[in-house]
Structure formats: structure tokens, C-alpha cells
Structure 1
């Protein structure tokens, strides 16, 4: 494992990323690609935790916009993250990687209940650990759940895999002249309202000096390169 700079990390995946080319649900090719990307590091002993969103199935804010009670919508969104977590677990296990799903909402028949010390023990035993159901509370995003869990387990970095190759000063899709940052401070992210993660998640990482690394999920081998300490995407750090 000496080739890897980071020994314990948390990988944040959006639910939309699991759709691939589909308009809804899970493209089986995406979990397989993720498994391919992380397998070498996992086999080398890097401790990997995962948080995945549920936007490919249901998003609480969308439900609230349509007139649904926000808390009820968020509860549905948290259950969607459990579906995605089980799909990832199945793929990882089919690729020979031991994996546990730990849910912030108790559902003993299909997952373990999240307990911090047990989660750390799973990681120490070489099990990929997927944290499902967000924080277990409405009004908190899976970005905030990822920041919280990363701090709780003592991760060295929070890696957010997205559809863009880093953080820009404006939307690079609609503004070709947008400038990409190699590094940026938490406060600049908040002051510029750059939406790397929601403000609560960014502030939590800031308070606990948790670096955030943002990179393009689709770039082949990028997770392995990031773990080795190569400069990829954008890193959010202290001033």
C-alpha cells in the first residue's frame, strides 16, 4: 500500500451518476465501472467508504416542489439511497470485494444499522463500507451525510466523483471561458456560492479540516491516481 498516499477515504457518488445513459434508475455498467476503478486500491489495503445519493430514483426537493411534504419527500429520497447502496454492494461482491451496507435508518433485514465504531472496524478488516440513508434525517443532503461520515470515520479525504473534471468559477457547459481551479479554499467556495457541495457539507469539512477532492467519475483510472496523490480535478482545502 506504500504507493498510495491515502489509506482511508470516503467516496461520494451522486445517484444521477448511476443512471449512465439512462433517464432513470441504474445502468448496470456504471457500478461495474466503479468496481473496476476501486478494486486495485481495495486489494492493496486502502480502506474505502462510500456514500451514494438517490437522485436517479427520487429527489425530496422535487417532491416538495410538486406539493409533497418536504420531510416525507426526503424520507423517500433516503430510501432511494438504500436501493443504490444495495446495487453497489451486489456489484462489489460479484467482483470479489467484501462489502457492508450500513443504514442510518434501521432496516435489519437488508442492512446493518450505522454504528460509528462498527463502521471503522469493517474498514479495518478490509470491507468496503457503504453508508446508506443519508444522515437519517430530512432536510440534510447526502453531501452533508458524506461530510459527516468522513469526519466520523477519520477519513483522510472526501472524494466527490461528478460529471465534471473539477471546480470552475462558473458553469463550464454554458461558459466555455470558465476558469478551473486546481485548489480552492472552503471560504472561497462558500463566498462564491460554487455549489461544490451544499453549504452545510462544505462548512462541516471546513470546521474539521477535511479536504474535498472533486473529479470526473468517467475519467479512466482517476480514482487510483487520486489515491496516489496525483493532482487531479480540484481540491478544497484550508486557506
Structure 2
């Protein structure tokens, strides 16, 4: 069966690797995530991944810490998650490379667009850690930037809820569920899907965004096969 997408960028939150622990890396959740990634990799899909670091540290919430310093600490958290995910993928026979925007020679390769593209062409999963390498930018922006650089067809935005809603469905059960939106809708409806810098990058580079719940087993494969399990933004 032919897949809908040939090259994707998956944006994973740090919380997705923490699971119910809320903090740190939960081995079971990380293994489940790796298994879903390998499943679509085995179908010939080229995969890049950007990981967040909220399960260890959030730059914007660092009290009594300079914002830039706090952001650098957050970048280090994303590297820890990238390394954990890489090991989980390697343990199940899925070749993966970690590339970081901040130089950590003994742990990962420094980011190089050309080298990353070569790895994707060689069917290796490329995991990007370290954000953009600069403070004041979110991992949402990193995902949009790397998706543009990697010529990805779509950003698969893994969330804790299954789609984009008009309000938090956990607070308002009557919140409207959207199956399709435009980037202008995000701005006009003030939907907190991703930050405006990231949304603008996606819009300007004609990159689609698909929001779905990766925690539900098999959902990633369903998205790749074109099934409607979330919200498409274009």
C-alpha cells in the first residue's frame, strides 16, 4: 500500500517521552514511540524528528534565571531526549542519527543540512536536538525550520489530544473539533496550535501541519496512510 507521505518531520514533545511520569524519560513510552516510528520507516517513509525538552526543563519558566540561559538549559534537555529516542530506535533495528544545533562532539554530530539530507536519502531516521541553537526560539519554530530545510511534505505534530479544538475539550466537552484549518484560521481564531513564528514559516514554505494523538497505538501509521485521525492545517 502506497503511503500518503514520502518524507515527514515529526514534532515530539518531551512530555510524550515522559508519559504518566510527567518528568524524565519513561522507557516504556519511549519504546512505544520508537516502535511507531519504525513501523512507518519500514514502509519506506523518510523521517526527521524534532524533540522538545519540557519533561526536563522549560526555558520560559526558569525563575531567577536569565531568559537566554534558561533557553540554553532547555536545549540541553532536548539533546537528552534525542539520545534516549535514538537508543530506543537502534535497539529495535532502526538506524538513527542525532544531530544537534549546539556542538557536543562526544555525544552527537553537529547539524549540517547537507549531511542530514544525505542521511534521509540513506533511509536513516534523523533526530534533531538543541533547538535552533539560539535562545528565544521554541521547538515549534525549530520543527518548522528543519521541515523547510529537509524539504518535508508535512509536520506531524504529536499532541496529548487527538485534534485541534476551539477550546480545551478537557475543560469544555462541547468544544468544536476541527478536521481542517488554514494557517490564517489559527491566527484569526487564536488557536494555540503552535507559535506564530512557526506558523508563519510553515505558511511561507507551503508546509502542511497535521495534529494528532501519537499516544494512541497505530495512529502514526494511520496518518501516513491518509486516514482522518486529527486536524490538517495548510
The alignment's TM-score, normalised by the length of structure 1, stands at 0.96
Q: 1:229 aligns with which of 226, 230, 233?
A: 226
Question: Deviations for 1:78-127, whole angstroms, at most 9, x for unmatched residues?
Answer: 00000000000000000100000000001111101111111010001010
The ranges of structure 1 where at least 4 consecutive aligned residues each deviate by more than 3 angstroms after the TM superposition are: none
Does 2:14 match 1:15? yes
Larger CA deviation: 221-230 vs 37-46 = 37-46
CA RMSD after TM alignment: 0.9
The Cα shift of 1:40 comes to 2.3
CA–CA distance in structure 2, aligned partners of residues 38 and 107 of structure 1: 25
Three-state SS of the structure 1 residue aligned to 2:192 is coil
Unaligned runs of 5+ in 1: none
The Cα shift of 1:230 comes to 1.5
Number of residue-to-residue matches in the alignment: 234
Q: Equivalent residue for 2:122?
A: 125
Question: Deviations for 1:39-59, whole angstroms, at most 9, x for unmatched residues?
Answer: 222122210110010000011
Question: Deviations for 1:153-196, whole angstroms, at most 9, x for unmatched residues?
Answer: 00010000010000001111111110000000101101222110
Q: 2:95 aligns with which of 91, 95, 98?
A: 98
The Cα shift of 1:231 comes to 1.6
Q: Equivalent residue for 1:144?
A: 141
Is the 2:16–2:215 Cα contact (8 Å) retained in structure 1?
no
**What are the within-5 Å matches in structure 2 for residues 126-205 of structure 1?**
126-205=123-202
Q: Equivalent residue for 1:24?
A: 23
Q: Equivalent residue for 2:78?
A: 81
Three-state SS of the structure 2 residue aligned to 1:44 is coil
Q: Equivalent residue for 1:5?
A: 4
CA–CA distance in structure 1, aligned partners of residues 107 and 35 of structure 2: 25
CA–CA distance in structure 2, aligned partners of residues 152 and 193 of structure 1: 27
The alignment's TM-score, normalised by the length of structure 2, stands at 0.98
Question: Deviations for 1:142-163, whole angstroms, at most 9, x for unmatched residues?
Answer: 0100010001100010000010
Q: Equivalent residue for 2:42?
A: 43
Three-state SS of the structure 2 residue aligned to 1:21 is helix
